Chain A
Amino acid sequence: MLRWLPFVPVIIAARRPTVRKETMNPLSMSSFTLTTSLGTGLRAHVEALLARRSGLAPCTFESAQLDTWVGQVPDERLAPLPPELAAYDCRNHRLVLLALAQDGFEDAVARARSRYGPGRIGVFLGTSTSGMLQTEIAYRRRDARTGALPEDFNYAGTHNNFSLGRFVQAHLGLAGPAVVISTACSSSAKVFASAARMIAAGVCDAAVVGGGDSLCLTTLYGFSSLELLSRAPCRPFDAERSGISIGEGAGFALLERAPAAEAPGTIRLLGIGESSDAHHMSTPHPTGLGARTAMQRALSSAGLAPGDIDYINLHGTATRTNDASEDLAVFDVFGANTPCSSTKGATGHLLGAAGITEALICAIAMREKFLPGSPNTQQPDPTLHVRYLLDNADEAPERAMSNSFGFGGSNCSLVLGRAH
């Protein structure tokens, strides 16, 4: 809190390198791109969302034998990496490279690179499983005698979480601060917070944020072991909801300090709220305490009131417990008037890539002037309280919130808005 102290000697203020503010300075999302099972690039997502199309299909991924649906990016779209990046070759990085190549994103980063210099652009990315599939496959190819992993297994290039950060830095020619955040399903929402802090602290002038998570057996069989996988396409906030459908995808945004006179329509990051549940490793707080705190902090960081938000993209995983606790939290903060929906019926749950995906779906909704409904949800749960959108609505949101809540009780809410 910045307090008014009339007789503080000037030297004390001067010793502090950065003065904390209650509200954050807005950041412009000057370029962004998204690839999921709905398609490659933003245009495909606009069309799919407007048509209420779902990318979910019965699971035929790799050797998985599970009665579930997934949002898979077709294998044939995931080309091997070029020779100079071969050390990073795995499904996750193929997906990331495909995503980076869309919507002129690489060109936008190149322009920023010549404007700021490669050392002044940070890379803040989220993933939950990185190139885990590569390690799973390597474990099936262990030496029968020694148990050793195959020679071609590249730990630093594919398994380590930071392989994603190194790969993206190398591909985009960036040399500033870099980190990979891995906080399960809030990972690629929390990267916005890290980037905003680094820009505010003067460590960098711009940032590539986002992340990627691809299908692997660990998450498919792991969520199956927790009995959280739906046998049908997931139905967020539905009375008959029965668990999640896992999806895959990658999305990126270029963040820069917002100029005083911004081009109208530019999407801006206005606020961020983070919190911890302090309740349980894999079950959300029953009354949504952590979720509520994250949303309230995001509003206060944006300097906005609940009534200023025109649309909420819910975490809405379609598990019984997530949707019930998130409903209580949203209702508590916003009441029953703010339109909200989960788009996981369209994309599936992208885990570490859910945060960036849903932040960008909010950006699409603001740019294209509609509110996305909830494909696959049929009958909203009558015991839930929020104003849940089944169908798309012909309204033009000016400000939107995106919720991401992860295992370990890691919560993050983002507020985005259109510049005027």
Chain B
Amino acid sequence: MRVFVESVGLLGPGLSGWSASRAVLLGAAPYAPAEVLLSAPETLPAAERRRTGLPVRLALNVGLDALTHSTRRDEALASVFTSSGGDGQVLHELCEALASAERQVSPTRFHNSVHNAPAGYWSIALRSHAPSTSLCCYDWSFAAGLLEAGAQCVTEGVPVLLVSYELPYPEPLHAARPVLGTLGAALLLAPEPSTQAFARIDLRIEAGATPPSHMQNHGLEALRAGNPTGRALPLLHALARPAAATIILEYASGNTLAVEVEPR
């Protein structure tokens, strides 16, 4: 399956947008992790802005980062949102409320608990009626999202925005499912080698567990291994130059997803 990368978004500790992060990924600038500050995008109506939690803000901001350098900021752009855990804070608050005698559940918290909350806010922010899918594939959510977006791109002949995001759960869920750092990554994929496309990628599922690609930098490698969206970092590293590379991503049921990157 062959698609073309038109732009990239990246937000995480010490990774403040794709433009600023390229040098960090390539080792030309030091990696200095810092807290990720997330505000609700101005494009959302005030009522919706107030209701957004951190996962929605992360997903929307990293998606918008990818669109910063693209002319495709239009309402017809299809999207795929992928995350292993969704909104852990909302989940925790719902479970605490349900474990209490009163069982008072907040309606806003409940509707924000759906896994497709970021997709819903995204469509409102962009006034987009385009198709949007929200999925989960545990630690392999980025690879699954890339396959999903790639398949949509090639079979429907439309550009697709992939948004991958993951935040740590609060305790006590964190102990059961530790996630490192707040990280979002986005790729704008096109079915054809448009003028904006700067790299070609070929996706191929391979049977058997080949060791996945790693990051050289220890801090970035910890983020790769500790956050399901971090699995995207070796691919983003190849796209930062861009350089020809074959990136191996772990995928479900012991398979791998091989991603061949070819600069254009």
User: Is B115 an interface residue, CB under 8 A from the partner?
Assistant: yes
Give the complex CA separation of A18 and B156 in angstroms.
Answer: 9
- CA–CA, A281 to B117, complex, Å? 7
B260 to chain A, nearest CB (A): 13
| Cα of A409 to Cα of B153 in the assembled complex, Å | 22
Distance in angstroms between the alpha carbons of A147 and B176 in the assembled complex:
12
* Beta-carbon contact of A179 and B99 below 8 Å: no
A138 to B94, CA, bound (A): 13
Which residue in A153, A166, A281, A297 is a CB contact (below 8 Å) of B176? Answer: A153
A-B contact count (CB 8 A): 231
Query: Is B123's CB under 8 angstroms from A409's CB?
Result: yes
B253 touching A178 by the CB < 8 A rule? yes
Interface positions, chain A 124-145, Cβ under 8 Å from B, are 128, 135-136, 138-140, 142
The answer to the question of B26 belonging to the interface, with a C-beta cut-off of 8 Å to chain A, is no
Q: B74 an interface residue at 8 Å Cβ cutoff?
A: no
B2 contacts A by Cβ under 8 Å: yes
Closest to B51 in A: A281
Q: Are A410 and B119 in contact (CB under 8 A)?
A: yes
| CB of B37 within 8 Å of the partner chain | no
Nearest residue, chain B, Cβ from A410: B116
- Asked if residues A221 and B98 are in contact (CB atoms below 8 Å), the reply is yes
Q: With an 8 A cutoff between CB atoms, is B8 at the interface?
A: no
Give A53 to B213 CA distance when docked, in angstroms: 56
On whether the beta carbons of B148 and A225 are closer than 8 Å, the reply is no
Question: Do B120 and A274 touch across chains, with their CB atoms under 8 A apart?
Answer: no
B114-A128 in contact (CB<8A): yes
Q: Are B172 and A147 in contact (CB under 8 A)?
A: yes
Minimum CB–CB distance from A194 to chain B (whole Å) comes to: 6
**How far, in angstroms, from A159 to B172 measured CA to CA in the complex?**
14
B240: Cβ under 8 A from any A Cβ: no
Task: Establish whether residues A203 and B173, one from each chain, have CB atoms under 8 Å apart when the complex forms.
Answer: no
Q: How many residues of A contact B (CB 8 A)?
A: 73
B252 touches A183 (CB 8 A): no
Given contacts A203-B205, A276-B128, A278-B124, contact A222 B113 (CB under 8 A): yes
A155 touches B134 (CB 8 A): no
What residues on A are CB-neighbors of B34 within 8 Å? Answer: none
With contacts A182-B134, A217-B103 taken as known, whether A155 is within 8 angstroms of B177 at the C-beta atoms is yes
Q: Is B155 an interface residue (CB 8 A)?
A: yes
B129 and A183 contacting across the interface, CB-CB below 8 Å: no
Q: How far is the CB of B185 from chain A (nearest CB, A)?
A: 18
Question: In whole angstroms, what is the CA distance A140 to B103 when docked?
Answer: 12
A86 adjacent to chain B (CB < 8 Å): no
Q: Are B116 and A225 in contact (CB under 8 A)?
A: no
Interface string of B145-169 (1 = CB under 8 A from A): 0011011101111000000000000
What are 23 A-B contacts defined by CB distance under 8 Å? A17-B2, A18-B154, A139-B99, A148-B175, A156-B177, A162-B137, A166-B252, A175-B255, A178-B252, A182-B135, A182-B136, A183-B119, A194-B148, A198-B147, A202-B1, A217-B103, A222-B105, A276-B120, A276-B128, A277-B123, A278-B123, A278-B128, A409-B123
